[in-house]
Structure 1
Amino acid sequence: MQSQQPKLWTRNFISVSVSNFFLFMTFYFLLVTMPVYVLNELEGKESEAGLVTTVFLLSAIIIRPIAGRWIEKIGARMILLASLLIFSGVTVIYFSVDSIGALMVTRFIHGIGFGMATTATGSIVAAIIPDSRRGEGMGYFVLSSNLAMVAGPFLGLTAMQQWGVSTMLLMGVISAFIGLMAGLFISIPKKQPKTQKEVQVKGSFSFKELFELNAIPIAVTGAFFAIVYSSILSFVSIYAVEIGVGHVASYFFVVYAVVLLISRPYSGKWYDLYGANAIVYPSIILFAIGMFILGVADSAFLFLVAAAFAGLGWGTLFPSYQTIAITVAHPKRRPVATATFLSIYDIGIGLGSFIVGLAAAKVSLGTLYMFSSVYILIGVVIYYLLQGRRFSEERQKQKQVVDN
């Protein structure tokens, strides 16, 4: 029965996943080192150190809807290769940066390449994954960025601390160019030529053309949870030191990734077999449990247990939401749906970092993490109202048809 399934691990799927891995590897590599670089090498302020991430994400958010339209008009492969050229080329420019202003401009242009590339890879993978294995395929694809989230910060900080800034930047350049090389191996099946009517419609840049309306509900839901996830990305290493387990802080995302690796073969298949709701609701509960354990953790063991639950929860939710975003859109609108989802999701990440930073000045991180579990459970209602109810009704109708 398994042999009759359409093939998932094709050359294209492997190539786009490898390209995505090194794209995100470079992203996380610089995410953790640039603030340190600003403070230590450019003698900047802490506010300027925070801006290097904000500027990068801002340009990525701005370009994504436009990139989605470009993909519709000239193809995902062309946009991917162009964006990877921009992304890898700008990585080289960091060597010549000698001021805060020059760094901000570099980060803004770099974010444009990243935003275009992530939109293109998401669109390509949506096009090449067999429909019957969409949940499984998207899960494995997103796992490539999850693994980069572990490797990137670890290698970036290690390189900067052990061998200096130049070696760190060189490793970033190598990672970016490997992503470009992997992108060259991707080929997308040609589609039927567009009709004149379609070409005329695609020439406009109205809100409806730049954003996929059907993907907005699940994108808003994703952004709701991204606010909590951003608190992990930004503050979990600081929190580890606060509770006396700083020696295992770097292992948080290692455990997170290992749990994902173990669970991914099952969660993706269950999504395809039983539908989105059967995966989303348990994942929300697991995410909430993880954040509660993190908030009350007073030992390395509990700290890492929290990582495992967060990995099972959010690590399963994110690819499920991205799968929903492309599933609810018309096939021709999937590039725009991908851009819509990622843009709104990144707004959640950026907003979350800002909100958590303000809240952390008022209450302890432990309290913040603990109450985040309540916030996540509210997300059950948000998901049900915006998306889950519709899926439940559709599944009920399908069941009635089968019974009749």
Structure 2
Amino acid sequence: MTTIPHTPARPPLLTRPLLLRFVSLVGSSVGFYLPLSVVPLHAERIGGSPGAATGALMFATVAGEFATPRLMARFGDRTVLAAGLVLLGAPALALTALPGMAWILLVSLVRGLGFALTIVAGGALTAALIPDGRRGEGLALVGLASGVPSVVALPLGLYLAEHTGVTAVAVIAGAVPLVTALSVPGLPGGRPAPGARADGMLAGLRTPALARPALVFGASALVAGIVVTFLPLAAGGHSAGLVAAALFLQPLASALARVWAGRRGDRHGSAGLVVPGLVASAAGVLLIAFTGSAAAVVAGVTVFGVGFGLLQNATLALMYSRVTRSGYGAVSALWNLAYDAGLGAGALGFGAVAAGTGYPWAFALTAALLMTALPVALRDGRAAPVPSAGAARPATAA
């Protein structure tokens, strides 16, 4: 008699709680990305600094990421997520209520704090809703749930600003997170161990096996901050439709590359994608430097988008492979820190450089700066992905 091996049934992925979580995930993504390129334009039109607006947003986001784990330990994931959606949405409603750069900076700071609460607390909730055996597939769906709204919202914000005004964009960006916050009470939510995530994040910063990929990814995120803030200004000689198309192609290329990188990384490992992702990112920025050519600008943002997408997936996968499950919180916090710090630093620093060199040379210098991370990427590619006992210890001495 032949015994047929029993194959356990795969746990369901698209459960009601996960689908409900997608509602608030879409809400935070729309609330963040719809005004992301509009606010710098609004700041410039009133005589303010476009880079300062994005810089304030990301500064508050980074600061909030350090504080959020303690808030989660005290109040719970659901409460912090709901508070984040309110802080992200409510200030946007009042963006144009008062004139002056000081008001824009205040609104940006509060919204940045709200965004930090949504991504850290929301990330913890999402991870808990995905079965262990289908984590890769689940994270891909989560990436699409947040990535598709960003692909649409970023250029849509510019289009609406040109045709209906900044106030209309601000109202939509404020209303969407507030409405989707109503879905949060339906989510399950537990309380983490007090201080566990905060300590793990600081330990991750001291762990080379985690810090190296985070550094490389942060360098590419710096460019992303530059593109969303300054591309509408640098390519101002072209039509608004071209700029909107370019801002659509960049996140679209990133989303597609991220999905491909995930499938390829599962089969062959993610380490081999870090260097190509970095080189593609730098090549894309160099193409954008030819701001007088519409073809170069479109090609540049697309190539950069591919490189950025490769690095998004590869660096995060590598970091997860170098810790045990107890270190996942540290990886998530550190990766988001690299993302947001890079986004803000790019928006702040590029404006000062461009003021002295002009946009074409500033983009070329940015491409050269990005390539300074190549030795780190090469060294990290040779590091073995050996799991550690937690986020506080390096996975490898390489």
TM-score tier (shorter): 0.7 to 0.9
Deviation per residue, 1:143-201 (Å, 9 max, x gap): 4444344333433333333334443332122222243244445335x69xx8xxx66xx
Residue 23 (structure 2) pairs with residue 21 (structure 1): no
Paired residue type of 2:225: S
**Map of 1:228-239 to 2, 5 A cutoff?**
228-239=223-234
The CA deviation at 1:66 is 1.8
2:171 matched residue in structure 1:
170
Gaps of 5+ in 1: 395-404
The CA deviation at 1:318 is 1.7
- CA spacing shift, 1:232–1:183, aligned 2, 3 Å: same
The CA deviation at 1:96 is 4.8
- CA spacing shift, 1:8–1:208, aligned 2, 3 Å: closer
1:398 matched residue in structure 2:
none
The CA deviation at 1:115 is 0.9
* Conserved? CA contact 1:122–1:335, under 8 Å: no
Structure 1 counterpart of 2:235, from 231, 240, 259: 240
Residue 213 (structure 2) pairs with residue 218 (structure 1): yes
Paired residue type of 1:303: V
* Conserved? CA contact 2:320–2:328, under 8 Å: yes
**Map of 1:12-161 to 2, 5 A cutoff?**
12-38=17-43, 43=46, 45-47=47-49, 49-72=50-73, 75-94=76-95, 96-97=97-98, 100-131=101-132, 133-161=134-162
Paired residue type of 2:180: G
- In 2, the alpha carbon distance for the partners of 1:354 and 1:100 equals 15
Deviates more, 1:289-298 or 1:225-234: 289-298
2:391 matched residue in structure 1:
none
* Conserved? CA contact 2:91–2:111, under 8 Å: yes
The CA deviation at 1:67 is 0.8
- In 2, the alpha carbon distance for the partners of 1:259 and 1:74 equals 38
2:245 matched residue in structure 1:
251
Structure 2 counterpart of 1:388, from 374, 381, 393: 381
The CA deviation at 1:252 is 0.9
Structure 2 counterpart SS, 1:390: coil
- In 1, the alpha carbon distance for the partners of 2:357 and 2:105 equals 31
Structure 1 counterpart SS, 2:357: coil
* Conserved? CA contact 2:151–2:248, under 8 Å: yes
User: Greater helix percent: which structure?
Assistant: 1
RMSD value, Cα: 3.6
The CA deviation at 1:314 is 0.4
The CA deviation at 1:277 is 0.9
* Conserved? CA contact 1:25–1:175, under 8 Å: yes
- In 1, the alpha carbon distance for the partners of 2:99 and 2:372 equals 46
Structure 2 counterpart of 1:352, from 346, 350, 354: 346
- In 1, the alpha carbon distance for the partners of 2:236 and 2:44 equals 20
Paired residue type of 1:237: P
The CA deviation at 1:265 is 4.1
The CA deviation at 1:57 is 2.0
- CA spacing shift, 1:286–1:17, aligned 2, 3 Å: farther
Structure 2 counterpart of 1:310, from 291, 301, 304: 304
Paired residue type of 2:308: W
Detail structure 1 runs of 4+ shifted over 6 Å in the superposition: none
- In 1, the alpha carbon distance for the partners of 2:185 and 2:121 equals 13
* Conserved? CA contact 2:271–2:318, under 8 Å: no
1:337 matched residue in structure 2:
331
Residue 282 (structure 2) pairs with residue 288 (structure 1): yes
Question: How high is the TM-score relative to the length of structure 2?
Answer: 0.78
- In 2, the alpha carbon distance for the partners of 1:289 and 1:204 equals 36
1:266 matched residue in structure 2:
260
- CA spacing shift, 1:61–1:260, aligned 2, 3 Å: closer
* Conserved? CA contact 1:33–1:157, under 8 Å: yes
- CA spacing shift, 1:375–1:50, aligned 2, 3 Å: closer
Gaps of 5+ in 2: 1-7, 388-398
Deviates more, 1:95-104 or 1:160-169: 95-104
